[in-house]
Amino acid sequence: MDAKHSRWLFWGPTLIWASTWHVILFQLDSGVPALNSVAWRFGLAALMLAGLARARCESLAFGWRAHALMAVDGVIQYSGNYLGVYEAEARVPSGLVAVLFCLMVFGNALLARFVFKQRSSPRFLLATAGGVAGVALVFWPEIASSGARPAAGLGMAIGLGAVAAACVGNMLTLTLTRRGLPLVPVLAWCMGYGSVFLVGLAAVNGQGLHFALTPAYVGSLLYLAAAGSVLAFVLYFKLAQAQGPARAALTSVIIPVLALVVSALLEGWQPTPLAVVGMGLSLASVYVATRP
């Protein structure tokens, strides 16, 4: 794979997911429960991916063993992971959750070593640790204040659970594609199963199904489904297939930094000197980690 293609696979999902932090605000302000919004997002994305698979003449028909694994993947990756993020941010600052998700690099590296026999170099792991430290500096004021929250411990545990779910989901998707199953149909089924699970959960817990027919909600939903789910996950998993899940997870180190740049432009966030140092450390660390 040439360097230009690799950069596109890395920066494509990174830039998209950095922008989704701001777009999700339109979902949260709509009054629609997060459980419903996540279900609509991945349900719509599943339909888009199914249409894309058909256009590419890729079959959506798989055996029951593949469907069982895709169902597990969907519930873990597109239900547990995303619900965990929302529940964690209800108890601890979002900055702390961002730092926790930087640890996904190490989770992916560990699982890739045991599942796929892929090793990460000491330089890569050391540089990644520097990137995580940089993100921690960026969000240090939020992190320092998290101890005053009565449910901080539970929020941390839920956040780490969401990170673990993301790592396991990554391995399951890559396991399916390594068996020869095409990526786009696999993602269509996984997101579809995740959406169905969330709809069922909303019905069981009495929350019901809600939707907001407003331009802000519908527009943000379309963006999160088409760009934040279909395009970003396809590019991300192609990157993971080409360079390994640990390198692909480096996106989680850059995303919080870029998200704050978006926040500064659109929401008036004012960077502190410590945040500027942290951003520089994160970007420099990722540069070192991705050098040949």
Q: What is the mean pLDDT of residues 57-80?
A: 94
Percent share of the chain, pLDDT over 90: 41
Instruction: Give the CA distances from residue 213 to residues 23, 45, 207, 220, in Å, rounded to whole numbers and listed in that order.
Output: 16, 18, 19, 11
What is the pLDDT, as a whole number, of residue 180? Answer: 92
Q: Pull the structure tokens for residue 125.
A: 């792991």
Is 163:35 a contact under the CB 8 Å cutoff? no
Domain with 280 in it: 3-289
Top-confidence residue, 32 or 142: 32
Q: How far apart are CA 8 and CA 131, in angstroms?
A: 21
The amino acid present at 149, given as its one-letter code, is R
Distance CA 224, CA 38 (A): 9
Task: Check residue 139 and give its pLDDT.
Answer: 75
Alpha carbon separation from 95 to 123, 204, 232, 262 (Å, rounded):
26, 32, 22, 15
- Report pLDDT for 95: 66
> In this model, does residue 8 exceed pLDDT 90?
no
Number of domains in the chain: 1
User: pLDDT per residue over 163-182, tens digit each?
Assistant: 899 999 999 999 999 999 99
**What pLDDT is recorded for position 51?**
96
Query: 55-64, 75-84, 143-152, 231-240 — which is least confidently predicted?
Result: 143-152
- What pLDDT digit, counting tens, does each position of 150-163 carry? 677 788 888 889 88
Q: Which pLDDT value is given to residue 269?
A: 65
Name, in order, each residue with C-beta under 8 angstroms of 235's C-beta and a sequence gap of 6 or more.
8, 9, 12, 13
Name the pTM for this structure: 0.88
pLDDT digits (tens, 9 = 90+) for 122-140: 888 888 888 888 888 877 7
State both tokens at 170: 């990554």
